[in-house]
Amino acid sequence: MAFDPASLRYDVAGLIPAIAQDHATGEVLMMAWMNAEAVARTLETGRVTYWSRSRQAFWVKGETSGHVQTLVDLRVDCDRDCLLVRVTQEGPACHTNRRSCFYTAVREGEEVELLRPMD
Amino acid sequence: MAFDPASLRYDVAGLIPAIAQDHATGEVLMMAWMNAEAVARTLETGRVTYWSRSRQAFWVKGETSGHVQTLVDLRVDCDRDCLLVRVTQEGPACHTNRRSCFYTAVREGEEVELLRPMD
């Protein structure tokens, strides 16, 4: 079946969550949001493109930082209201310069930092 | 630092997205939503507990199906507005009886089914 970005289920703001996963390691890197046009651009260009809710603008990941995400595989969940983008990640995915945004664990009630910023 | 579920950033409905990942394989299984109480219950019980938006009720994953998710590690992202729960998943995570909800890929403009329902 041909894929149509309009067939996804977006929230009231017209957005769908997109989970970025390192294709090689399986590491979950970040979660951000796309609108239908960002989904289309991601597929067309192979450069993962989100919608920045704070800036209200398209956000081609790595455009300014150089930490680009190259699309390897785009996946849709059963309810069509969440995306999984499997990517090749250049450098850190997180704006804190860490490889993944999920660098804090909760263990025995305490927050533990798992990753340090990359050099 | 002690972890407090109230320190997370919830949306206007009081919810935060939670990505479930198979701890052993790295496979992303599903994404669902938690409120602060669901986060607390997940940590207290070790049984991953979401908030069902459709039923407006707590959803202890696997409570009726037996396909429970046992918490291995809970992680918080840099913006504190998304969670990653690393789990041991019993059987399929998806209500379609597939291991993962992300069983549809988009390849060359077409939707491709990657996983079949489990026996």
Cβ distance A105 to B43 less than 8 Å, yes or no, reads no
Average pLDDT value over all residues in chain B: 97
pLDDT digits (tens, 9 = 90+) for A27-86: 999 999 999 999 999 999 999 999 999 999 999 999 999 999 999 999 999 999 999 999
Residue A69 near residue A62 (C-beta atoms within 8 A): yes
Q: A108 in contact with B at a CB cutoff of 8 Å?
A: no
In order of A82, A116, B73, the CA distances from A112 in angstroms are 28, 11, 11
The pairing of strands A28-34 and B57-60 is unpaired
The residue-averaged pLDDT of B88-117 equals 97
Task: pLDDT band for B119, please (50, 70, 90 cuts).
Answer: confident
The beta-carbon neighbor of B77 closest among A1, A101, A106 is A101
CATH of domain A13-113: 3.10.20.810
Quote the CA–CA distance of B59 and A101 in Å, as a whole number.
26
Q: Which CATH architecture has domain B14-113?
A: Roll (3.10)
**DSSP run (H or E) holding B19:** strand B16-22
A82 labelled ligand-binding: no
pLDDT digits (tens, 9 = 90+) for B6-56: 999 999 999 999 999 999 999 999 999 999 999 999 999 999 999 999 999
The residue-averaged pLDDT of B102-118 equals 97
pLDDT at A119 over 90: no
Q: B78 in contact with A at a CB cutoff of 8 Å?
A: yes
